[in-house]
Amino acid sequence: MSAESAPDPSGGAGGVIDVIGRVRVVPVLTVDDPDGAVELVRALVEAGLPAVEITLRTPTGLTAIRRASVEVPAAVVGAGSVTSAALATEAIDAGARFVVSPGLDDGVIDVASGAAIPVIPGIATATELLRAVNAGLDTVKLFPAELLGGPALITAYSAIWPEVRFMPTGGVTAQTAPAYLALAQVLAVGGSWMVNAAAVDAQDWTTVATDASAAAKLGRVAP
């Protein structure tokens, strides 16, 4: 998928979730160099992964979100590691199209919902999932997915909450992703396995694109 043919990220909250649900693989990026982040996002989009999550684990995360949102308009850029209402506000102001949190925080949910931005909070327990559902959410991040029980846990939760869609993240690899993607309840998987740090440091965008294309193919297999 080229940048020119990638889905338009401007279609509102539902449109963003639709994009994520079509590609089903969301690269999770932690970046130190905004210039490199823009080129990385461009390579991912051109390889067929238009929805990317840039974490706020580094001081340059917000700048990378702002620049990638403007300079790679075909990308659906989201913010990850959003741990407070204040960070959610900053991320949305920077141009984030969706917000992902490692946990379930009412302030983050309120800010994102108030801005009509999709929010995908992290949950680990049935209690947290119940809280998310009661807050009106139908999409959550299972985190850390592999440590919590992986696909088996999603299947168990889905017996009680069949309307909920999951984005498992944390320990997901090219080898384990297919088991998640085989589940109809899985909206997408999040991970960093397709981003070769050495290739990014060397600005070897051809290698990055090759690895991303392989990851994108995983998402094309229907559950």
* Residues annotated as part of the active site: 53, 141
CA 125 to chain centre: 20
CB 28 within 8 A of CB 1: no
State the pairing for strand pair 51-55/25-29. parallel
Q: Quick one: tokens of 133?
A: 């559902």
Please tell me what DSSP assigns to residue 7. P
Nearest to 26 by CA among 4, 5, 10, 41: 41
Q: Quick one: tokens of 223?
A: 């559950």
Q: Is 73 helix (H, G, I), strand (E, B) or coil?
A: coil
Nearest to 194 by CA among 214, 217, 169, 220: 214
* CA neighbours closer than 13 Å in the CB half-sphere of residue 136: 8
Phi, psi of 57 (to 5 degrees): -80, -15
Residue 130 burial by Cβ neighbours in a 10 Å radius (0-12, 13-18, 19+) = middle
Nearest to 222 by CA among 44, 15, 12, 22: 22
